[in-house]
A and B are shown apart, each in its own frame.
Chain A
């Protein structure tokens, strides 16, 4: 029995376990912080890279690029106005159709549907969001396009032809199929965000409304919708952001031509669609650089919609929490 083994006080700071813990904690912290930093760096690097690659076009055309209607690879003249119009026009119309429908779906899922069906129907709607855009594009060109050309288009032009939106002859491609495709793509996203919002409405408020004799719709209009207003705006903006950035499905059905038209039967193009269609075929540096410039414009538009949505959500959350 050696005395030293039992009587020597152990110095706690040097116990191997303690040292290992200190190192482990530090390593975990550094790894996690590095990963978090990587996210920030990626976004910054992305912006930098786009500016760098489009610098040739930026220095050549300047800010006039966004107001110029030229797009001529042969003469090396490029401008983005037609594509900005196409992007804004199709996305806006898609949101106009999808937003009320998505809110109606979300209301159905939270207020109306029998309890047992809610999860099933909710999952089905979310599956619509999981369908790859290239599959929707495939469907768009082979099924939706002919349907619009032969059935929906003639129908609209016969009954609503007096409106500027339905002038001319329906074709296989154009704004109308693009709007329909985008509507299908943003509908489930907006609906599932809206559903989460409606689930946060306190039950007491709804029951108070029913107790006062309000009908279901009056309760929705008077309690559920005002209570979630801010979040709903953000949900719609998220859908808008998605519509603005969609390239693959739109490029199949929009016709890929220059032009600014009001009529939905006309062909056009969007920013994302033009990039997807021409990037591989671009031969000159200024052409490539101009396409990246388009991507930069697209990035700015989608950042504005997304950041606006985030700001609205945050403010809305704070408002709810503050109450």
Chain B
């Protein structure tokens, strides 16, 4: 009788305990993932709930009024300013970032490549507020606050992101393609500009838009480079232009509840832009990767 019990296939107490521990830990993992998604949902829901009432046609087309008692007006000046600042940053960061990636993937050898990758990582890790102070000393002190200065600051934030994402897609271009081109006697620059970059163009572009989404939401560098702004709607990058993140930041410092509502409205605009761009570029990037690595 007792012999039989020893060969029973029913789980022993020890096995049951192991299984329970495993299930418990799986539960912890599930709950962690759900919690992260819940926080995301909560943030988005709050911004929509508190921000949607601020939205109107005027909100997008008019600048703020200087009338402290009446309506606060729109944030058109900030929307235009953000577009100008981010455009300046993109014009600087995109070509340089792509060239850096071309250098590492086509020219650099072991040691140089390692130093460069390391420096890019270091640059990526520098707090954005420190970059703001750097540009303040480099440009603002000798000239003045301007959208150009803010654009340079954001470009420094975007540069490592663009370079890194471009490197990744360039690495996906099969070596056989390069070798085929060289075997035909095509020069290196023609291979790069006519073959490698076009083949990975989609990936480069989406990496760039992800960097733009990141830069559009940055506030800290703008504090020192582009904060003494006016309520005028202007497209002139040599002027300090208002921006959406800064509008939110400055509205928060005021006690006026109407300005708080404006801050939530501006947050809704910013969040919508950032999330839509991120989701779209991630989807395109995933498709591109599949296509290239096939």
Contact = CB atoms under 8 A, between A and B. Distances in A.
B286 interface: yes
Interface in B7-59: 18-19, 21-22, 24-26, 28-30, 32-33, 35-37, 39-40, 43, 46-47, 50
B127 A28 contact: no
A250 to B, nearest CB: 10
B172 interface: no
Given A131-B274, A276-B129, A215 B96 contact: no
Contacts of A220: 25
Contact of B286 (A52, A119, A125, A247): A119
B62 interface: no
Nearest to B103: A32
A247 B133 CA distance: 13
B161 interface: no
A88 to B, nearest CB: 14
Contact of B18 (A187, A218, A246): A218
Given A126-B282, A131-B43, A35 B96 contact: yes
B47 A139 contact: yes
A29 interface: yes
A244 B119 contact: no
A74 interface: no
Given A32-B102, A130-B275, A132-B245, A105 B33 contact: yes
B193 interface: yes
Most buried by B among A36, A133, A188: A36
Interface stretch (B69-77, B173-181, B232-240, B263-271): B263-271
B213 interface: yes
Contacts of A238: 125
Contacts of A295: 129-130, 133
A107 B27 CA distance: 11
B129 A141 contact: no
A52 B137 CA distance: 9
Contacts of A102: 32
B159 interface: yes
B122 A25 contact: no
B122 A187 contact: no
Contacts of A218: 18, 22
Interface stretch (B83-91, B200-208, B216-224): B216-224
A187 B39 CA distance: 11
Interface residues of B, number: 88
B106 interface: yes
B125 A125 contact: no
Given A25-B187, A35-B96, A310-B121, A246 B252 contact: no
A43 interface: yes
Nearest to B273: A132
A186 to B, nearest CB: 12
A113 interface: yes
B99 interface: yes
Looking at B29, B122, B187, which has the most chain A CB atoms within 10 Å of its CB? B29
A138 B133 contact: no
Contacts of A94: none
Contacts of A31: 99
A50 B26 contact: no
A244 B127 contact: yes
Contacts of B100: 32, 35-36, 38-39
Nearest to A141: B252
Given A27-B189, A39-B119, A134-B245, A245 B127 contact: yes
B119 A43 contact: yes
Given A28-B192, A36-B103, A132-B219, A125 B37 contact: yes
A24 B187 contact: yes
Contact of A135 (B120, B270, B286): B270
B218 A306 contact: no
B141 to A, nearest CB: 8
B288 interface: no
A301 B262 CA distance: 36
B279 interface: yes
Contacts of A38: 96, 100
Given A36-B100, A49-B137, A126-B282, A138 B227 contact: no
Contact of A128 (B40, B102, B122, B193): B40
A295 B223 CA distance: 14
A28 B138 contact: no
Interface centre among A39, A50, A298 (most CB of B within 10 A): A39
Interface in A239-259: 241, 244-248, 252
A126 B160 CA distance: 18
A111 B102 CA distance: 36
A273 to B, nearest CB: 9
A35 to B, nearest CB: 4
Contacts of A134: 217, 219, 245, 248-249, 267, 270
B134 interface: yes
A24 B137 CA distance: 37
Interface of A: 21-22, 24-25, 27-29, 31-36, 38-40, 42-43, 45-46, 49-50, 52-53, 101-102, 104-105, 107-109, 111-113, 119, 121, 123-128, 130-139, 141-143, 184, 187-188, 191, 215-218, 220, 238, 241, 244-248, 252, 272, 275-276, 279-280, 291-292, 295, 298-299, 302-303, 305-307, 309-310
Closest 5 CB pairs of A and B: A245-B127, A132-B217, A306-B125, A21-B187, A35-B99
